[in-house]
Structures are given as structure tokens and as C-alpha cells.
Amino acid sequence: MRISVAAWSPEYSAEIDLGPDEVTVEQVDCSVEPGPWEPRSPGDIGALADLPLAFVDGTRRIDARLFLSDNGSAPVSGVAGSVGVGAVVCDPAPGGPGGRKVSNGEPRRARVAEMRIDRFIAAGDGTRVSLSGAAGLTYQPLPVPGTGTTIDGLVGAVHESMRVREAQLALEMATSHLVFSDGPFAVMRPEAVRVVAFIKSHQRRYLDEDHEQIIGKLGCGERTPLFAFGEPRPRYSWYLRLCALEADDHLWHGLVRCEAPASVGLAGVIELADASASLLPQFASLPHWDPRAPQNLVPVAGLEKRLRHLLGDRELVYRMIRSAANKAADEGNGG
């Protein structure tokens, strides 16, 4: 028996936690891309190499749990949550991986191009509640329909609103960037021709045992051929390895799965897949640097840190919610 230690720090869920198959492997079509089922090394990625890259990610935080009641009725659960989504733009690096200078000879730079913070109060029974605190702290209503929504359900609603915003930003950035969006697609539109979703952890198996053998053979910067699945959102997907395997690594180490909507077309997705295999390993993080290395990409880690910072100090925000709630209650009583 071979024992490998998980690369991600134990405070995060494991990068591989394969549960019971929901998508049965029979539904996955491994024959979409022409050629043998062998690891593929991208060659020249053509015009995509000249596009600036955008990394899109979001973060969310539950700031407070609330109970909402009207005229002595039984309280309805609510959560106040903050959502931040943003994008880091990296200069293109002509010459492919290892290219360090942009075309005018300046060193390549990464910068935060966009950061958007939204705050919501998610409440069950379709309840619409908003709250305004000092210094621009405003929570918009996020009604969740249906009775008996659990706290987990409300948190899920906040999470979903984050993913919608991520997708929206990814689409905006895609007009002039090659976009890598953290996490699977929430919303996909056919115009998303240059958006690649990359998924850091693996909760599901997509390949049958025969096809899965390829994962052990993937070298750094190599990808699997495309495979297709998905209703109602058909998509192409592929695995790629971000770093070389060390002797004691498990075979899924440094593995990410990417997706692109099927609507982009097979040829377009093959280009995106090659571009991802060519570009993403440059952005892989190192174990001492990030607890979720190498899958948590360096620009994404930087962005996440900034977004979390912009969500505001947790204690301070909590206090402001309390005082805003008090004030609202006083006004309600007074009126």
C-alpha cells in the first residue's frame, strides 16, 4: 500500500474527496477529441498567447445570523452575508511559459482589475429585509422562497449569489482577456468563448477505471483529451497537471479539472484546453506559500486576500450589524 500525505493543509477539505458517483461514468463521453486517449502536451497556442489573462474569483463570509419576526410571529431565520468578487489581470507573456517580459520589454505585472463587494440578507419564506449601517455598510434583501429553509440553505443562497457574480464578471472580462474562473460554471452563455473554469478539488469521478489510468501518466503542463458531459449545461472538461510529481506524491497531486461550455464548439475548446495547459503551471503556488498548493493559483490567492480584506473587519462588521438592527427596531417601535 502506497501512502501519500495530502498536499493541502488539513484545515481545508481535502483536494480529493471522491464520493459516490452522481454523474455515472457512462454519461461521460471520452471520445469527443480526435486522437488517442493519451496525455497531450500543448504546442503553440497561437493568438491566445497574446491576450492578457484574467483570473476571476469570489469569496463570501457570513457576517451574522439573524432572526426576523413581524408582530410577534415565529421568527424566520436569516443570515447577513458579504460577497466579494474580483479579477486579477496578468500581462500576456509572449513566448509561452517562461516568457517573463511583455512585448515592450517591461516586466510582466499582475494587478487587481476589479473588486466588487455586495452584502445580502438572505431570509426564508421569501422575506425581503434590508439593513443600513454606518460607513456604507448596506445589506440588500435576498429572499429565499419556500418555508422551512435551513441556515445551510440560506448560506447556500449567499454562495450562489457569489457564483452568479463571478460568472458575470468572467463574461465581462472575456471581451478582452483570456479568463480563468475559479470554480465550476454557475451561469454559462454561448458568448463565453474565452472563459475556462478551473476546479481545484475533486469530489466526483468523471472517468471510468480504464480512462482514469491516464491521470497517473500526466506530466507537468500536460492535459487529458477532452471529455464531454452535462445536462442541462453541456460542457467539455479535461484534467491537467500543474506541477511535476515527486516520488512520494499521490497520482492526483497537482491536478485541476477545467471546463468550458460546449456551446463554444469543439475546436474553440481544444484551443482553450491547450492554452490552459500551457499557461496555468506558471501560476501554480508552492507548498510553503499556500496551504492549498499548487492548485490555488498565485494570482487567485492574492486576489482572495484582498477581497477578504475588503469585506471588512469581521468583529467591526458584526458590531455595526447589531447597532443597525437596534436602530431599525427603535424606529419600528417609534413608528
Partner 1 sequence: MTDTPVGLVLGSEASNTTEFKVVLHEDEYLQLDDLVVVRTQVPKVGEVATYGMVTEIETVYEGTTFQSDTFRVAVEGTFPAEKSRCATVQTVRVMPEIWVAPDPGEHVHRASGDERKKALYYDEMGAGGTPRALPVGLSHDDEPVWIDVDFFDGTKGAHMNIAGVSGVATKTSFALFFLRCLTSHPEVMGRSANNLSVLVFNVKGDDLMFLDKPNNRFGPEARDEWAKLGMHPSPFESVSFWGPTGERKDGIPEGRNIRSGIHAFRWTPREFVDEGLLRFLFTESQDIRQQITFVAERVERQLQRFAQDVDGQPGAIVLRDPTSLPNEDNKPVIPMKDEKVITNLYDLVEALEEYLEPEGGEADYAWSGRVAPGTVGAFMRRMRGSLPRVGRLVRAGESRRIDRSVEAVTVVDIYDLHEAAQRFVVGALIAEVHRDKDGKGRFPLSVIVLDELNKYAPREGWSPIKDTLVDIAQRGRSLGILLIGAQQTASRIESDVLSNASIRVSGRLDAAESEKGEYGWMLPSTRARAKLLKPGTMVLSQPPIPAPVSLRFPYPPWATRSEEVEETGGSPLEGL
DSSP character for 106? Answer: P
> 51 vs 325, which CB is nearer to partner 1?
51
> 2 vs 109, which CB is nearer to partner 1?
109
Residues 246-285 vs partner 1: string with x where CB under 8 A? ------------------------------------xx--
Q: Interacting stretch for partner 1, rule CB under 8 A, among 65-73, 77-85, 211-219, 291-299?
A: 291-299
Q: Interacting stretch for partner 1, rule CB under 8 A, among 9-17, 74-82, 292-300, 324-332?
A: 292-300
Q: Based on the shown chain and the rule CB under 8 A, indicate whether residue 310 belongs to the binding site for partner 1.
A: no
Q: List the one residue from 211, 306, 314, 327 that touches partner 1 (CB under 8 A).
A: 306
Q: How many CB atoms lie within 10 A of CB 199?
A: 20
How far apart, in whole angstroms, are the C-alpha atoms of residue 185 and residue 165?
11
Q: Based on the shown chain and the rule CB under 8 A, indicate whether residue 233 belongs to the binding site for partner 1.
A: no
> 11 vs 209, which CB is nearer to partner 1?
11
- Contact criterion met (CB below 8 Å) for 321 and 131: yes
> 28 vs 284, which CB is nearer to partner 1?
284
Q: Which residues contact 36 (CB under 8 A, 6 or more apart)?
A: none
> 25 vs 87, which CB is nearer to partner 1?
87
Shortest distance, CB of residue 88 to partner 1, whole angstroms?
5
Q: How much of the chain is in helix, strand and coil states, percent to nearest 5?
A: 30, 25, 45
How far apart, in whole angstroms, are the C-alpha atoms of residue 258 and residue 240?
8
Q: What radius of gyration, in Å, describes the C-alpha atoms of the chain?
A: 22
> 102 vs 155, which CB is nearer to partner 1?
102
Q: List the one residue from 150, 289, 326, 329 that touches partner 1 (CB under 8 A).
A: 289
Q: List the one residue from 3, 109, 148, 267 that touches partner 1 (CB under 8 A).
A: 109
Within residues 63-102, the interface with partner 1 by CB under 8 A covers 88, 90-91, 93, 100, 102
- By the 10 Å C-beta count (0-12 exposed, 13-18 middle, 19+ buried), 288 is classed as exposed
How far apart, in whole angstroms, are the C-alpha atoms of residue 144 and residue 129?
11
Strand duo 53-68 + 76-90: pairing: antiparallel
- The 3-state DSSP class for residue 76 equals strand
Residues near partner 1 (CB under 8 A) = 88, 90-91, 93, 100, 102, 107-112, 282-283, 288-289, 297-299, 301-303, 305-306
